[in-house]
Chains A and B, each alone.
Chain A
Amino acid sequence: MLTLQEVLDYVQFIRPEIILLGLFITASIILIARDWRFLILALLAQYILVGMILSRLVRPDLAVLGVLIGAFICPVLFLSARQVSVSPLSVYRNLDRDQQRLRRLNDLWRNFSIVQLVKGGSPIRGPDPTGFIFRLFVGLLMILVALSLSRTFPLPELGPQVTTAIYWLIVAGLITLTLTEDPLKAGHGLFTVLTGFGIFYAIVESSLLLTGLWGSVNLLIALAIGYLTVVKGAGPEEET
């Protein structure tokens, strides 16, 4: 079995540019996609990539702690999202369980579409106020903003890739927050912002108490987001 040190040594071979590209992809998915499965997977991948960055800059146990916190947050969000997404539609109500399962699989196979999976036509949530193309363009624009910020306001004692990653995560998260009122998606945007901040804070703050408290707060925020997700999913459609 691999030890932690061996895993970290292996991770060191991954270039920072690759990790930055990965963060561009994960935060873009969070910004653009609507399907909750994609969102949670992207968030988990984001936490892992951030852990890889931190492993080069802080103590290994702090980097692993960051990944573990993300690994706990994602299941909380998953369970909440799953609870509201698995709601019986009226067409299935009169069927027994095996028939329901077969009917759902048939419908899924007939209607399968990558684009629809990313766009996420959820029966629980109404139509998105912003279109897919709009969010795509906003994402591209925010990449330019993040690159400009990292050149204009470089962060002290950090390389350009790390600086860009921090700015990108914060900007992408803020934009995600402004473009949605859905608790689950807003939660992803919020965690993206906090992840970007968390990279910088883990490097500059020497107090383990504060770092640990901040990690605990992230977990509790996930519980609150999960609660709001379930409440939103259980309620009627909200007027926008």
Chain B
Amino acid sequence: MPAALWLIALPLGLAPLVFILRRKLAGAFLAAFGAVFVTWLIMQVPTGAALNVLGRAVQLDQLARMILMLLFAATSVLFLTLALSAFTDQSQYLGVAHKRSIGQEARIFYPAALVILALFVAAGLSRHLGITAIFIELAAIIAVFVIQTERLESTRAALRFLVLITLATPVFLLAAWRIDLYQLSGGLPSARDLEQTALFISIGFAIWLAVVPFQGWLTSTATEASAPMAAFVLISFPTVAVATLIHLLVDLPWLVDSVFLVNAMVIAGIFTAFIGGVMASVQRGLSELLGFAALFNLGCIVALIGIGGQAAMVTVVVTLSVRALALLLIAASMLTLHLLVSSDGFVQIRGTAFRMPVAIVGLLIGGLTLAGVPLTAGFAPYWQLLRTVAEFDSRWLIPLVLGSLGVATGYVRGLRAAMSSEPGGGDRAAARSLPKVAEPLPLLIIIILLGLLSLLLGFNPSLLIDSLQTVSAGITFPIR
């Protein structure tokens, strides 16, 4: 069997074992170490074609390798975070019932995430848009169970996610059909055919990448799913979608002859970033804030791809990595916070900064990383985006900067809420009403490590940029 196909077989083979052991901690650690092992294996597998399906190579290239490593590494951190959270003394936390539900959710999450990752590997290896779309659709169907888990109060997020991703799949199948026609005909497509194909691709990726007005699946997932599940979906699906878009543009450079496609990416990306930022500034809960902050970040990535240029590729891969880091940090912090309070609305989290300062600081660092604030890991790619946009059209700087300020404002408001009290009380009045508990040590360690990593990359971004240069160097991106 080609070595690359082991990357599909291993997670799929591990999933049933993890499912059987799901009620025991062994299942959680098996899933975590399995994900770490596959991450290592991805580094060992040689790049190149493995198979040929429907006339297209099934191959692992540098970009696919980096994306898959990112996904497996991020998921292993999530697995470990959830597993280590089980090592806490339950009796002292107010949100014990909530914590118990986190344990139940994790039992569904471990095997489901492994299957989803296997499908993402298949999607990442495939260079046929139709097959990739079907694998991502299959992953989305399983993700419905991850988003919903065993919550009974609402099915809105899972339903929106399923409906929107499913509506994108027929569009991609149509685009793949048009592309296959042109490939078979051997000639260049006519202008009309090119625009039709570009339209299908634009609509499909607009849904996958949560471009406004299709952002509903992303924001509602962040709002309703628990933080680790939301982080998994918000990291994995957009990352795979971005990789698929880049592969498509690299394999079919004639697509960028469509001025409509290129302009649509730029305008849609900037508009999405602006809306995400503005909406983030007025949210009244950390979950809602997470959704719109992630939307802002995704909009920046889409705009970067549309503008293109020499540094676009390395900036996109750095942004994806930083995005994953920020979302993991936020997820770990919110998971810790939910041990203390059952809801993360700004009213409910009053005074929590004095009980769980590390979690609150972790939230703040993660949020400001997504906003691209200086001294965080997100600043370097965001600054490169601004420079690229300034060369393209300086008027687009205004919505991007406003968006960033909006996200930062949202998280500063959250910090203020966490440090505030009920009207008429002192700053510590709210803290006195909360139980005297400390953050669990395992989660504390994870938050500190991720937070320090974000700050380290903020002070020295070349650590990440230099290591990812080799990925982008091998990509001849057609948009210049």
- Could you tell me the distance between the alpha carbons of A2 and B167 in the complex, rounded to whole angstroms? 38
> Are B173 and A228 in contact (CB-based, < 8 A)?
no
Asked if B154 CB lies within 8 Å of chain A CBs, one says yes
Residue ID in chain A nearest B130 by CB atoms: A210
Asked if A86 CB lies within 8 Å of chain B CBs, one says no
> Are B156 and A227 in contact (CB-based, < 8 A)?
no
CB distance from B151 to the nearest CB of A (A): 8
- Could you tell me the distance between the alpha carbons of A238 and B157 in the complex, rounded to whole angstroms? 12
Cβ proximity bits B33-58 to A, threshold 8 Å, 1 near / 0 not: 00000000000000000000010000
Given the complex, which residues of B lie within 8 Å of A52, measured CB to CB?
none
Instruction: Tell me which of A201, A224, A228, A238 has the highest count of chain B C-beta atoms within 10 A of its own C-beta.
Output: A224
> Are A224 and B156 in contact (CB-based, < 8 A)?
no
> Are B163 and A238 in contact (CB-based, < 8 A)?
no
Asked if A17 CB lies within 8 Å of chain B CBs, one says no
Asked if A94 CB lies within 8 Å of chain B CBs, one says no
Given the complex, which residues of B lie within 8 Å of A231, measured CB to CB?
148, 151-152, 155
- Could you tell me the distance between the alpha carbons of A227 and B131 in the complex, rounded to whole angstroms? 25
Residue ID in chain A nearest B143 by CB atoms: A224
Contact flag A201-B167 (CB < 8 Å), given A217-B137, A227-B145, A227-B148:
no
Residue ID in chain B nearest A189 by CB atoms: B163
CB distance from B19 to the nearest CB of A (A): 16
> Are B152 and A234 in contact (CB-based, < 8 A)?
yes
- Could you tell me the distance between the alpha carbons of A2 and B457 in the complex, rounded to whole angstroms? 72
Contact flag A214-B148 (CB < 8 Å), given A201-B174, A209-B54, A238-B154:
no
- Could you tell me the distance between the alpha carbons of A224 and B141 in the complex, rounded to whole angstroms? 6
Asked if B170 CB lies within 8 Å of chain A CBs, one says yes
> Are B134 and A220 in contact (CB-based, < 8 A)?
no
- Could you tell me the distance between the alpha carbons of A190 and B162 in the complex, rounded to whole angstroms? 10
A198-240 contacts to B, CB under 8 A, are 201, 204-205, 207, 209-210, 213-214, 217, 220-221, 223-225, 227-228, 231-232, 234-236, 238
Residue ID in chain B nearest A225 by CB atoms: B162
- Could you tell me the distance between the alpha carbons of A231 and B163 in the complex, rounded to whole angstroms? 17
CB distance from A225 to the nearest CB of B (A): 8
Asked if B138 CB lies within 8 Å of chain A CBs, one says yes
Cβ proximity bits B104-146 to A, threshold 8 Å, 1 near / 0 not: 0000000000000000000000000011001001100100110
Given the complex, which residues of B lie within 8 Å of A9, measured CB to CB?
none
Asked if B158 CB lies within 8 Å of chain A CBs, one says yes
Q: Which of B152, B163, B169, B176 contacts A177 (CB 8 A)?
A: B163
Q: Which of B145, B163, B173 contacts A214 (CB 8 A)?
A: B173
> Are A210 and B134 in contact (CB-based, < 8 A)?
yes
Residue ID in chain A nearest B149 by CB atoms: A231
- Could you tell me the distance between the alpha carbons of A207 and B181 in the complex, rounded to whole angstroms? 12
Chain B interface bracket (under 10, 10 to 19, 20 to 34, 35 or more): 20 to 34
Asked if A61 CB lies within 8 Å of chain B CBs, one says no
Given the complex, which residues of A lie within 8 Å of B170, measured CB to CB?
193-194, 197, 201
- Could you tell me the distance between the alpha carbons of A193 and B168 in the complex, rounded to whole angstroms? 12
> Are B163 and A186 in contact (CB-based, < 8 A)?
yes
> Are B155 and A232 in contact (CB-based, < 8 A)?
yes
- Could you tell me the distance between the alpha carbons of A152 and B15 in the complex, rounded to whole angstroms? 50
CB distance from B283 to the nearest CB of A (A): 18
Q: Which of A205, A221, A223, A232 contacts B166 (CB 8 A)?
A: A221
- Could you tell me the distance between the alpha carbons of A201 and B14 in the complex, rounded to whole angstroms? 36
Given the complex, which residues of B lie within 8 Å of A66, measured CB to CB?
none
> Are A204 and B155 in contact (CB-based, < 8 A)?
no
Given the complex, which residues of B lie within 8 Å of A193, measured CB to CB?
167, 170
Asked if B153 CB lies within 8 Å of chain A CBs, one says yes
Given the complex, which residues of A lie within 8 Å of B162, measured CB to CB?
190, 221, 224-225, 228
> 17 A-B contacts, Cβ less than 8 Å apart?
A183-B159, A186-B163, A190-B163, A197-B170, A197-B173, A201-B173, A201-B177, A204-B177, A205-B177, A207-B54, A210-B173, A210-B176, A214-B134, A224-B162, A235-B153, A235-B155, A238-B155
Chain A residues in the interface with B (C-beta under 8 A): 177, 181, 183, 186, 190, 193-194, 197, 201, 204-205, 207, 209-210, 213-214, 217, 220-221, 223-225, 227-228, 231-232, 234-236, 238
Interface contacts beyond A183-B155, A221-B162, A236-B153: sample of 6 additional A-B pairs, CB < 8 Å, sorted by A = A181-B159, A201-B174, A209-B54, A210-B130, A220-B141, A234-B152
Chain B residues in the interface with A (C-beta under 8 A): 54, 130-131, 134, 137-138, 141, 144-145, 148, 151-156, 158-159, 162-163, 166-167, 169-170, 173-174, 176-177
In the A-B complex, list the 3 residue pairs whose CB atoms are closest, starting with the nearest: A235-B152, A197-B170, A224-B144
